[in-house]
């Protein structure tokens, strides 16, 4: 579909209408699955699987490691929407395009975003397989999805980001990790860089000094849009590799995917447990 002649508001509205046709009751949670974490999608008892290419104005993934489908179904007892496959700035999309799915779901009434990604560890205490619950982020993309005219029905011109990741959700997910004996679950700050080239040793040193614990190429635009739309956000990074500026090792996509896949059963367990508790956590 040619998006050049259609306003962004209209694109969002058409995509939302299309999704609404599948169900009278839109779930109030969306789970976005990152690199190597697509297996979780297979755990969902699906009512509907909608390929992104069928949804008007949804971008198309250009990365082989990302599928592109929206799933409506149950994970355990909780009904949710999963976005399997995401879009990245490095693919050439603007942050507005990247965030269209989250905006559409906000318009449809979804209240909670659980976002996952694979990331590089900057904190020397991390190991491959560490699950980092995101407490805060740095947007180093040089672009903000809210730039341009504000749509007041969607959210305020200057949204407050003082508490980007809901403390109540962070506390709950940490409790879930304890209750299920899931090891290597920590909290930290995620920094989003444009990519697609990976970091140099000097960049890694600088990112560490900026206060970041993990680095990746996704998620922050979606989180900004979710917060603009008054959604509550839980962010989970799977640390696939740890980057030491003084002993830098090559970072290979195959390794990132393999490590993320290895950690995925722990992440799956964590998310499944968290999802069961989510009803208690909706915003008033
Ligand atoms: N850098 C950026 N993105 C990543 C990395 C990394 O080291 N690992 C996984 N995603």
Ligand 1 centroid, distance to 257 Cα (angstroms): 10
Ligand 1 centroid, distance to 141 Cα (angstroms): 14
Ligand 1 centroid, distance to 62 Cα (angstroms): 18
User: Which whole number is the average pLDDT over 86-113?
Assistant: 95
Sign of CA dihedral 218, 112, 103, 38: positive
Give the model confidence (pLDDT) of 150-165 as tens digits.
Answer: 999 999 999 999 999 9
Give the model confidence (pLDDT) of 225-244 as tens digits.
Answer: 999 999 999 999 999 999 99
Give the model confidence (pLDDT) of 14-38 as tens digits.
Answer: 999 999 999 989 999 999 988 667 7
- Which residue shows structure tokens 């899931």? 182
Longest C-alpha distance within the chain, in Å?
55
Please determine, for residue 125, whether its predicted confidence score (pLDDT) is greater than 70.
yes
Q: How does 245-273 read in b/e, with b if 16+ C-beta sit within 10 Å?
A: beeeeeeebeebbebbbebbebbbebbbb
Ligand 1 centroid, distance to 19 Cα (angstroms): 32
Q: Which ligand 1 atom sits nearest the alpha carbon of residue 260?
A: 9
Residue 114 belongs to domain spanning: 3-280
Which residues does ligand 1 sit against, CB inside 6 Å? 118-120, 198-199, 215-217, 240-241, 243, 251, 256
Q: Considering the chain, what is the average pLDDT of its residues? A: 92
Instruction: State the DSSP string of 148-184.
Output: SS--TTT--SS---SS-S-HHHHHHHHHHHHHTT--S
CATH for 190: 3.40.50.1580
Q: Which among 78-87, 97-106, 252-261 has the top mean pLDDT?
A: 97-106
Nearest residue (CA) to ligand 1, atom 1: 120
User: Which whole number is the average pLDDT over 117-141?
Assistant: 96
Please give the C-alpha separations between residue 61 and each of 34, 65, 81, 98, 262, in angstroms, as whole numbers.
Answer: 12, 9, 18, 10, 23
Nearest residue (CA) to ligand 1, atom 9: 119
Number of folded domains that form the chain: 1
Nearest residue (CA) to ligand 1, atom 6: 120
Nearest residue (CA) to ligand 1, atom 2: 216
Ligand 1 centroid, distance to 37 Cα (angstroms): 15
Taking the C-alpha atoms of residue 261 and residue 256, their distance in angstroms, rounded to an integer, is 8
């Amino acid at each position: 579909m040619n998006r050049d002649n259609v306003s962004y508001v209209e694109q969002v509205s058409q995509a939302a209408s299309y999704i609404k046709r599948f169900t009278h009751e839109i779930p109030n949670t969306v789970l976005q699955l990152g690199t190597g974490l697509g297996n979780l999608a297979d755990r969902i008892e699906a009512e509907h699987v909608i390929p992104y290419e069928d949804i008007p104005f949804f971008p198309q993934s250009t990365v082989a490691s990302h599928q592109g489908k929206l799933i409506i179904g149950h994970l355990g007892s909780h009904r949710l929407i999963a976005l399997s496959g995401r879009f990245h700035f490095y693919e050439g999309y603007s942050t507005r395009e990247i965030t269209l799915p989250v905006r559409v779901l906000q318009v449809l009434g979804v209240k909670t975003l659980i976002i996952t990604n694979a990331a590089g560890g900057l904190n020397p205490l991390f190991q491959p397989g560490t699950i980092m619950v995101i407490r805060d982020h740095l947007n180093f993309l040089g672009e903000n999805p809210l730039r341009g005219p504000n749509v007041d029905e969607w959210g305020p011109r200057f949204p407050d980001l003082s508490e980007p990741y809901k403390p109540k959700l962070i506390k709950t997910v940490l409790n879930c990790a304890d209750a299920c004996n899931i090891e290597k679950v920590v909290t930290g700050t995620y920094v989003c860089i444009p990519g697609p080239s990976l970091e140099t040793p000097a960049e890694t040193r600088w990112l560490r000094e900026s206060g970041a614990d993990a680095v990746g190429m996704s998620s922050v635009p979606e989180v900004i849009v979710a917060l603009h739309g008054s959604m509550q956000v839980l962010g989970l990074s799977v640390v696939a590799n740890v980057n030491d500026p003084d002993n830098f090792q090559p970072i290979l996509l195959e390794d990132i995917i393999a490590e993320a896949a290895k950690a995925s059963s722990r992440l799956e367990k964590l998310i499944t447990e968290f999802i069961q508790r989510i009803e208690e956590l909706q915003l008033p």
